Amino acid sequence: MNVPLPEDATSLKALIEREVAALRADVRRKTEARQPPAVTSALASPAQADTLSLPHKPRGARSVTCLCDTSDGAGQPYEGIEPHDPWACVCAALPAIPVSAALLTPVRDDTDQITDFVIRAGNHIRSAEWLEAPDRQVGQRFLAARPGAATSGLLAALTEVLQTGRALDGLVVDYTEERHGRLRRAQLLHYAASCGDEVLATWRPVRSQAELLTLDAQHLASMGWGHWDLLSGKVTWSEGLARIFRVETHIPWSLQELCDVVLPADMTAFGEFVTAVLAGEEPTWTRIRFLVLGEVRTLDVLGRPVAGTDGRPWAVHLVARDLTPQMRSRRRLAETERETERLRQRAAAERRVAESLREALLPTHSEALAAVGLTVAAAYLPAETEAAVGGDWYKCRLLPDGRVLVAMGDACGHGLDAVARMAQQRHALAGLAQTGSPPGAIMTWLNELVCSDPSGETATVIAGHIDEERVLHWADAGHPAPLLRRAGSAFALPTDQRGPLLGALPGYAYDTSSYPLRPGDLLLLYTDGMVERRGEDITDGIERLTRELGALNGMAPEAVIGKLIAEYERSGHDDDACLLAIRVD
Task: Please report which confidence band the pLDDT of residue 44 belongs to, taking 50, 70 and 90 as the band edges.
Answer: very low
pLDDT in tens, 449-460: 999 988 889 999
pLDDT in tens, 453-506: 888 899 999 999 999 999 999 999 999 999 999 998 999 999 899 999 999 999
pLDDT in tens, 438-448: 999 999 999 99
Domains in the chain: boundaries:
9-25+213-322, 77-206, 362-584
3-state class (DSSP) for residue 217: helix
For residue 412, give the nearest of 535, 528, 530 by alpha carbon. Answer: 528
For residue 262, the 8-state DSSP code is: B
* Separation in Å, CA 576 to CA 133, 380, 549, 579: 82, 8, 19, 11
What is the model's pLDDT at position 312? 79
What is the model's pLDDT at position 521? 96
**What value does the mean pLDDT take over residues 545-563?**
94
Task: Please report which confidence band the pLDDT of residue 19 belongs to, taking 50, 70 and 90 as the band edges.
Answer: confident
Lowest mean pLDDT among 156-165, 203-212, 241-250, 289-298: 203-212
Cβ distance 72 to 83 under 8 Å? no
For residue 492, give the nearest of 434, 542, 562 by alpha carbon. Answer: 542
| Whole-angstrom distance, CA of residue 415 vs CA of residue 389 | 5
* Separation in Å, CA 284 to CA 41, 272, 303, 319: 52, 12, 8, 11
What is the model's pLDDT at position 210? 59
Highest mean pLDDT among 75-89, 262-276, 309-323: 262-276
3-state class (DSSP) for residue 342: helix
Task: Please report which confidence band the pLDDT of residue 346 belongs to, taking 50, 70 and 90 as the band edges.
Answer: confident
Torsion of CA 293, 296, 300, 304, to 10 degrees: 40
Task: Please report which confidence band the pLDDT of residue 207 belongs to, taking 50, 70 and 90 as the band edges.
Answer: low
Task: Please report which confidence band the pLDDT of residue 340 belongs to, taking 50, 70 and 90 as the band edges.
Answer: confident
Q: Which residue has the higher pLDDT, 65 or 96?
A: 96
For residue 64, give the nearest of 100, 89, 40 by alpha carbon. Answer: 89
Q: Provide, rounded to the nearest whole percent, the portion of the chain with pLDDT above 90.
A: 40
For residue 482, give the nearest of 539, 546, 538 by alpha carbon. Answer: 546
| Whole-angstrom distance, CA of residue 372 vs CA of residue 403 | 9
| Whole-angstrom distance, CA of residue 65 vs CA of residue 389 | 98
Residue 39 pLDDT more than 80?
A: no
DSSP state string for 522-541: EEEEE-GGGT--TTS-HHHH
For residue 44, the 8-state DSSP code is: S
- Taking phi first (over 0 means left), then psi (-120 to 50 degrees means alpha), and beta for anything else, what does residue 436 get? left
CATH class of 9-25+213-322: alpha beta
Q: Kindly give, in sequence order, each residue whose CB lies less than 8 Å from that of residue 353, ignoring residues fewer than 6 positions away.
A: 416
For residue 502, the 8-state DSSP code is: B
Bridge-based pairing of strands 374-381 and 577-584 is antiparallel
Residue 40 pLDDT more than 90?
A: no
* CATH fold of the domain at 77-206: Beta-Lactamase (3.30.450)
What is the model's pLDDT at position 211? 57
Q: Which residue has the higher pLDDT, 360 or 279?
A: 279
The reply to whether domains 77-206 and 362-584 share a CATH topology is no
Task: Please report which confidence band the pLDDT of residue 36 belongs to, taking 50, 70 and 90 as the band edges.
Answer: low
CATH class of 362-584: alpha beta
What is the model's pLDDT at position 341? 84
What is the model's pLDDT at position 264? 92
